[in-house]
Chains A and B, each alone.
Chain A
Amino acid sequence: MFKKSLSILLVLVVMISLVLVGCGQTTEQNDGGETDNAKQAEDKQAEDKQPEKAKITMTSWLEVEQSVEAIFKEMIDAFRSANPDIEVETIGLPFNQYKDQLLVMSTSGNAPDVVMGNSQMMVGFNGAGILAPLEDLISKEKQADIFDNNLAGGTFDGKLVAIPWITHPIGLFYNKELFEKAGLDPEKAPETWDEMVQAAKKVAALKQDKDGNRIYGIGHSIGKVAHAGSVFNGIIYSHGGHFLDAEGKVDFDNAGTREAMQYIKDMVDAGVMPAGVNQKEIRGLFANEQLGIMFDGDMGRAVFRKLSGKGKEFDKIMGVALIPTGKTGKSETVYTEHQLGIAKESNDQEAAAKLIEHLLSKEMIVRYHETNSVLAPSKSIGKLPEMNEDYYMEVFNKQLERARPLPATHPMFDNAMLEVTKALERVSVGKEDVDPVVKETQQKIESLYSK
């Protein structure tokens, strides 16, 4: 009986509390008396007179990443100040869940107005019918200012649906101190693929540093995630291979791909390259001065400064150069890219386009470059002295002109790249022969693309 009464009492207390909370708000509003009421009425009238604000939403992973959170907020705030008639709500989603969450949001009728994504994601969003054509929404001048290569990366079935914003071409980094110890010229980066392989072997021959840590000659991301498969496309191009044939069909099983796979296998088997590692681990090895050569994007410098704990001091031992020329006689590489799109479902595509143009503007890109050394695929902005302030940035701007987009033409591209990563793991850590692995991977990707 006592318990029952106590329970009733508790329920009553909770209910009364809820009622009081509700009344409290009203009371608070009433506390100010007549003067406040009159002021509130005036404010309301003034609000009513103003034209209704356009409301747009934008999704990205930038505001949940420590390194870019502040600059992203700064750019959005600048837009808000310049466009008081547009209200922007930003939605931050973690990178690892971004694609899944955006697909679920959008296909269930809650698409954001402005969609940010990378090339691999955008092809999926386009496949899901989320993105609107941008030709008539973004100004012709802006479109014309973007490198053709980059513009092609966001164009599907002849329609531009994702406009390139920030781009990360992959270049070559090397450790000058290890080069010197290995008897190589620390000021001369390898210019051809063969020179690079020889240099890597010489560095690997150092075997250990003074603390007994293993030294590797070269490192590529060849494990765990689809990203490894995506950047492997650059190595395929260097060996004269391709992922898609001239007609755009999957043609992974070609001589160039097999040679590229064999290169990975040989380097791992010879102990020149670590096996089963992703880009994060490769970066760790390079920052720890255990790696002679690696490929990375323009964000590499900032990452190594932080990871090494040496800050700008690390620049002294870090060399940077174009990817060595391979079979095609050119410096071949790929770039990954952050792109922007507008949802088909958006209620205010014009306001969304305004936000995109703001993010693509010279002021914003230069500011973003100042804080995070990013590159823009823009003909006019890329040439600005502010964007080429040192040799490092010059190299990456040059690399960008030579870089190819990822062959992301199908919504299942990310899956295909995961299969490529698995193939890399099979030949490197699994010690399987290259030919059957490439053949099977071709079949798997064909099967994925046929669905």
Chain B
Amino acid sequence: MKLASVLNNRINGNRYRSKVMKDKAFAVSLVVPALIMLILTIIIPVISVVRMSFFEYNLLHMDKAPWNNFDNYISVLKDKEFYLSFLRTITYVFSTVGLAFITGLIFALLLNTEIKGKNLFRGALFLPWTMPQVIIAIVWMWMLQTDYGIMNYVLKSLHLIQENINWVGDPKTAMLSVIIATVWKQMSIMMVIILAGLQTVPAELKEAALMDGANAFQRFWNVILPSIMSVIKTVTLTQIIINFQMFGLFYTMTGGGPVDATSVLSIYTHEAAFMSFNMGKGAAVGVTWLLFLIGFAALYNKVLSRKEIYAD
């Protein structure tokens, strides 16, 4: 009897182990293709760039690429222009994400109410996101052109300015011009994602706040905002990372000028890698930039996670 029970247990155990093994194999077979893609498109290139940053990689003599005793990093960290580019990048990223977030949130809140033609507005407002960066850059360059651009025409007609503003050509306004073009494009995606988040806020939470006598601002601040914090965290972090890498708008609209006023990290890296043919230094800038972003993303996640609330 005892032996039968032991055998039975063993058989059941073997069956269980076999099922677990099968499940594991199935899980692995599902993960492997994604893993291979990840290795080929992200891991290997990142490792190559990190490796490249320690060697003297020059496009003019790629046949020899000797180890150069951290010279690329020393050269980057000693370069005043690197810090200035970094500061310009920070200014651009936070202004852009901040403005796009505020405008996106306002439109999302409006579209979350029962207004007429909601779908039409949503479609129209999402349109800029579907346009390629180069097109957006060209459109805004024309609109901001000093002498025949519509922006100066409108501002002059409203008597807001006396003289035409050289938006893209003046170091004082060039960065603002790129920020305006970026916000116009990115506000749409912020709006759509925040709107999706708003639609998941449980109605009972809002009703409870209403019954407790909370006014509109209190309901927004204490109920809605914390409920969509995970969405806000994801969308803003994604936009911060996208804008840190922004190259197209700067390259097309200003080329980093005038007088380096819009020379952000991506332009600085391009100049180091391709204009100066120094791929090693370009890679070192990229790695420094990557480390900053990893640290920033971790901190950002930690800080914003504290503000989240969960409906369940």
Task: Give 1 or 0 for each of A116-128: 1 = CB within 8 Å of chain B CB.
Answer: 0000000010011
CA distance A108 to B57 in the complex (A): 12
Q: For residue B260, which residues in chain A have a CB less than 8 angstroms away from its CB?
A: 422
Are A127 and B60 in contact, CB atoms less than 8 angstroms apart? yes
Known: A103-B277, A422-B257, A430-B258. Is A276-B168 also a contact (CB below 8 A)?
yes
B164 at the interface (CB under 8 A from A): yes
Are A223 and B277 in contact, CB atoms less than 8 angstroms apart? no
B207 at the interface (CB under 8 A from A): no
Known: A4-B26, A223-B257, A429-B170. Is A213-B59 also a contact (CB below 8 A)?
no
B276 at the interface (CB under 8 A from A): yes
Q: For residue A436, which residues in chain B have a CB less than 8 angstroms away from its CB?
A: none
Are A425 and B258 in contact, CB atoms less than 8 angstroms apart? yes
Are A99 and B170 in contact, CB atoms less than 8 angstroms apart? no
Task: Give 1 or 0 for each of A34-76: 1 = CB within 8 Å of chain B CB.
Answer: 0000000000000000000000000000000000000000000
Known: A411-B277, A418-B275. Is A128-B60 also a contact (CB below 8 A)?
yes
Min CB distance, A184 to chain B, in Å?
22
Are A415 and B275 in contact, CB atoms less than 8 angstroms apart? yes
Among A4, A225, A429, point to the contact of B255 (Cβ < 8 A). Answer: A225
Task: Give 1 or 0 for each of B164-181: 1 = CB within 8 Å of chain A CB.
Answer: 101011110000000000
Are A414 and B59 in contact, CB atoms less than 8 angstroms apart? no
Are A426 and B259 in contact, CB atoms less than 8 angstroms apart? yes
B124 at the interface (CB under 8 A from A): no
Task: Give 1 or 0 for each of B158-198: 1 = CB within 8 Å of chain A CB.
Answer: 00000010101111000000000000000000000000000
Among A127, A223, A281, A448, point to the contact of B258 (Cβ < 8 A). Answer: A223
Are A422 and B259 in contact, CB atoms less than 8 angstroms apart? yes
Q: For residue A225, which residues in chain B have a CB less than 8 angstroms away from its CB?
A: 255
Q: Which of A186-194, A284-292, A345-353 faces chain B?
A: A284-292
Q: For residue B276, which residues in chain A have a CB less than 8 angstroms away from its CB?
A: 412, 415, 448, 451
Known: A213-B148, A214-B164, A288-B148. Is A107-B257 also a contact (CB below 8 A)?
no
Q: Which A residue's beta carbon lies closest to that of B172?
A: A429
Q: Which A residue's beta carbon lies closest to that of B273?
A: A100
Are A99 and B274 in contact, CB atoms less than 8 angstroms apart? yes
Min CB distance, A264 to chain B, in Å?
13
Min CB distance, B217 to chain A, in Å?
44
Q: For residue A127, which residues in chain B have a CB less than 8 angstroms away from its CB?
A: 60, 277
B82 at the interface (CB under 8 A from A): no
Q: For residue B148, which residues in chain A have a CB less than 8 angstroms away from its CB?
A: 213, 284-285, 288, 290
CA distance A275 to B169 in the complex (A): 7
Are B147 and A429 in contact, CB atoms less than 8 angstroms apart? no
Min CB distance, B185 to chain A, in Å?
20
**Tally of B interface residues using CB under 8 Å:** 28
A216-274: which residues lie under 8 A (CB-CB) from chain B? 216, 223-225, 274
Q: For residue A430, which residues in chain B have a CB less than 8 angstroms away from its CB?
A: 171, 258-259
Min CB distance, A139 to chain B, in Å?
31
CA distance A429 to B259 in the complex (A): 8
For B148, B164, B169, B274, which residue has the most chain A Cβ atoms within 10 angstroms? B169
Min CB distance, A444 to chain B, in Å?
11
Are B259 and A128 in contact, CB atoms less than 8 angstroms apart? no
Min CB distance, B256 to chain A, in Å?
8
Task: Give 1 or 0 for each of A100-113: 1 = CB within 8 Å of chain B CB.
Answer: 10011001100000
For A8, A213, A223, which residue has the most chain B Cβ atoms within 10 angstroms? A223
A329 at the interface (CB under 8 A from B): no
Are B60 and A224 in contact, CB atoms less than 8 angstroms apart? no
B145 at the interface (CB under 8 A from A): yes
Interface size class of A (residues with CB under 8 A): 35 or more
Are B60 and A425 in contact, CB atoms less than 8 angstroms apart? no
Are B59 and A429 in contact, CB atoms less than 8 angstroms apart? no
Known: A99-B274, A214-B164, A285-B147. Is A425-B259 also a contact (CB below 8 A)?
yes
Min CB distance, A112 to chain B, in Å?
16
CA distance A421 to B255 in the complex (A): 11
For B251, B260, B275, B276, which residue has the most chain A Cβ atoms within 10 angstroms? B275
Q: Which A residue's beta carbon lies closest to that of B145?
A: A281
Are B259 and A129 in contact, CB atoms less than 8 angstroms apart? no
Q: For residue B170, which residues in chain A have a CB less than 8 angstroms away from its CB?
A: 275-276, 429
Are A290 and B147 in contact, CB atoms less than 8 angstroms apart? yes
Are A429 and B171 in contact, CB atoms less than 8 angstroms apart? yes
Are A275 and B166 in contact, CB atoms less than 8 angstroms apart? yes
Are A224 and B59 in contact, CB atoms less than 8 angstroms apart? no
Q: For residue A104, which residues in chain B have a CB less than 8 angstroms away from its CB?
A: 59
Are A224 and B254 in contact, CB atoms less than 8 angstroms apart? yes
A7 at the interface (CB under 8 A from B): yes
CA distance A426 to B261 in the complex (A): 11
Are A128 and B258 in contact, CB atoms less than 8 angstroms apart? no
Q: For residue B145, which residues in chain A have a CB less than 8 angstroms away from its CB?
A: 281, 284
Among B59, B62, B251, B257, point to the contact of A425 (Cβ < 8 A). Answer: B257
CA distance A128 to B274 in the complex (A): 12
For B60, B168, B251, B275, which residue has the most chain A Cβ atoms within 10 angstroms? B60
Known: A223-B257, A425-B259. Is A129-B61 also a contact (CB below 8 A)?
yes
B146 at the interface (CB under 8 A from A): yes
B30 at the interface (CB under 8 A from A): yes
Q: For residue A7, which residues in chain B have a CB less than 8 angstroms away from its CB?
A: 26, 30
Are A276 and B258 in contact, CB atoms less than 8 angstroms apart? yes
Assuming A275-B169, A288-B147, A412-B276, what are 8 further A-B pairs, CB within 8 angstroms?
A107-B59, A108-B62, A276-B258, A415-B271, A425-B258, A426-B259, A429-B169, A430-B171
Enumerate the 5 nearest inter-chain pairs by beta-carbon distance, A residue then B residue, closest first. A276-B169, A107-B62, A425-B258, A224-B255, A100-B274
A-B CB contact pairs (8 Å), 27 listed: A7-B30, A103-B274, A104-B59, A107-B59, A124-B277, A127-B60, A127-B277, A128-B62, A129-B61, A214-B146, A214-B147, A223-B169, A275-B166, A275-B170, A276-B169, A276-B170, A277-B146, A411-B277, A412-B276, A415-B275, A415-B276, A422-B259, A425-B171, A426-B259, A429-B258, A430-B259, A451-B276
